Amino acid sequence: MQRIPKNFTPVPYAYHQEIELVIDTLTNLGVGLGRVNGWVVMVPMALPGEKIRARVWRNKANYSDADLVEVLEKSPERIEPRCALFGKCGGCQYQHMTYQAQLYWKRRHVQELVTRLAKLEVEVEPTMASPLEFGYRSKITPHYEPTCDGRPMAIGFLGMATRATIDVKECPIASEAINAALPAQREKVLVKERAGLLKNGGTMLLRDTGLGIETDMSAVAETAVGSLKFKFPAGEFFQNNEHILPTLLDYVISQAAAPDLEFLVDAYCGAGSFALWASAKFKRVAGVEINERSIALANANASLNGIQNCAFISGSAEAIFSKVDFDAKKSAVVIDPPRAGCDKVFLDQLVKFAPARVVYVSCSPDTQARDLRYLADNGFKVLRVQPFDLFPQTRHIESVVTIVPNPV
């Protein structure tokens, strides 16, 4: 890695100036990063170790953005993308990279966050691979905007380098059932557009439940995961890679279920997936959630599966553990918060509850690392960090962290 000379004064490049550089690394956004005389240049689609030619299109205060023009010396990890829209559609960032390289860089990005942001000396485990590299997504939500200039309307996803919608007629990371249903759903929208009936844009839903394709955002979908059945709002969150989901659930519960623990609290329980999966490992399980509809569905899921030792409780954000009567010293807590992570109000309650074990599941390792730093400063230590690749071909990664009280 090049060092910036002490007397170096950055001079941004001219608009559309072409430069040659070697890519040093990937950012956690999946963008290649290289330097020219110490000046950082960001180049999507470029891989570490490659010598490239790039065209600068924007200068920022301390770096330039550039488009890849030509790969002069190719990385051995570069492969041909499966999707013809790769590089235009913003849904995938890694289709040009071998799957083993994807797993390596995802682990490395989690490690960088744990080390740099959480300031912890913990070795991150190798990324757990998805059973399917393509065709794994059980939900897609293409969107559209009516056109006013006579051009065909695009139905799909935002572009990689633009806010414009890229027309997507088939998505290789979506399930076969979704791709089979997509043309008919697109045609329904296009018929309305051709008839002049579309005044506003919208979003389509295609949710593969394993029993069929659900397209109604307000419907309650049902799917099977392992031996359990789950009902959940079709348009809301439920893990979209059900091929690796049983492995993820097994791992999370194995980390929570220490021999001397009797109770489990699922603190962001949603429709109850972690709580119900854990029911055979604990004497009693409590799922806590501020969303009343999720609580109703979680209770329905317990009944659907004949599980009697799970109770689902509606708790306020300010008193999430107030209705939990478990002995904290015999309790584990599973947390799977939204992408924004845990707020300080929740973390303070978790520290006060002082469980014997915490398993923190996150789709956003940066906010997770921030929260780990807070927990490390307030009586806890990290035992293990395990990434899971729920989203092959993309930069996204799920991180599972096992946390215990730090002995004085």
Q: Which CATH number fits domain 99-133+241-405: 3.40.50.150, 3.30.365.10, 3.30.2320.80, 3.40.630.30?
A: 3.40.50.150
> Does residue 196 surpass a pLDDT of 70?
yes
Residues 99-117 have a mean pLDDT of 98
Spatial contact of 268 and 347, defined as CB atoms under 8 Å apart: no
In tens, the pLDDT along 256-292 reads 999 899 999 999 898 899 999 999 999 999 999 888 8
Class of domain 18-73: mainly beta
**Domain boundaries of the chain, sorted by first residue:** 18-73, 99-133+241-405, 139-214
pTM of structure? 0.93
Per-residue pLDDT at 142? 97
Query: What residues have CB less than 8 Å from 140, skipping those under 6 apart?
Result: 171, 174, 178, 182, 206
Q: What does the CA dihedral 145, 149, 154, 155 come to, rounded to 10 degrees?
A: 30
Neighbours of 314 (CB within 10 A): 14
In tens, the pLDDT along 343-388 reads 999 999 999 999 999 999 999 999 999 999 999 999 999 999 999 9
Per-residue pLDDT at 293? 85
State the alpha helices, DSSP H only, in 62-218: 99-116, 176-194
Same topology, domains 18-73 and 99-133+241-405? Answer is no
Per-residue pLDDT at 197? 84
Q: How far is CA 183 from CA 154, 155, 170, 189, in A?
A: 13, 11, 8, 10
Amino acid (one-letter) located at 268: Y
Spatial contact of 47 and 88, defined as CB atoms under 8 Å apart: no
Residues 165-191 have a mean pLDDT of 96
Spatial contact of 16 and 28, defined as CB atoms under 8 Å apart: no
Arithmetic mean of pLDDT over the chain: 93
Sole residue written with tokens 């059980």: 138
In tens, the pLDDT along 199-214 reads 888 999 999 999 899 9
- pLDDT tier at 2 (50, 70, 90 boundaries)? low
Residues 22-42 have a mean pLDDT of 95
In the residue annotation, 363 being an active-site residue is answered as yes
Residues 145-161 have a mean pLDDT of 83
Query: What residues have CB less than 8 Å from 98, skipping those under 6 apart?
Result: 77, 79
Per-residue pLDDT at 164? 87
Spatial contact of 319 and 338, defined as CB atoms under 8 Å apart: no
Closest CA to 88 of 44, 49, 132: 44
> Does residue 23 surpass a pLDDT of 70?
yes
Spatial contact of 264 and 331, defined as CB atoms under 8 Å apart: yes
**268 vs 99, residue with greater confidence:** 99
The Cα–Cα gap between 267 and 164 comes to: 38
In tens, the pLDDT along 226-256 reads 999 999 989 888 899 999 999 999 999 999 9
Burial pattern 325-350, b for ≥16 Cβ within 10 A else e, equals ebebeebbbbbbbeeebbeeebbebb
Per-residue pLDDT at 274? 96
- pLDDT tier at 6 (50, 70, 90 boundaries)? low
Q: What does the CA dihedral 387, 391, 392, 397 come to, rounded to 10 degrees?
A: -30
The Cα–Cα gap between 311 and 324 comes to: 10
> Does residue 317 surpass a pLDDT of 70?
no
> Does residue 8 surpass a pLDDT of 70?
no
| pLDDT > 70 fraction of the chain, expressed in percent and rounded | 96
Q: Which of 77, 214, 242, 398 is catalytic?
A: 398
Residues 378-403 have a mean pLDDT of 97
The Cα–Cα gap between 384 and 389 comes to: 17
- pLDDT tier at 3 (50, 70, 90 boundaries)? low
Backbone angles phi, psi at 187, to 5 degrees: -65, -35
The Cα–Cα gap between 68 and 82 comes to: 19
Spatial contact of 206 and 140, defined as CB atoms under 8 Å apart: yes
Residues 174-180 have a mean pLDDT of 98
Q: Which of 171, 269, 310, 363 is catalytic?
A: 363
Per-residue pLDDT at 66? 96
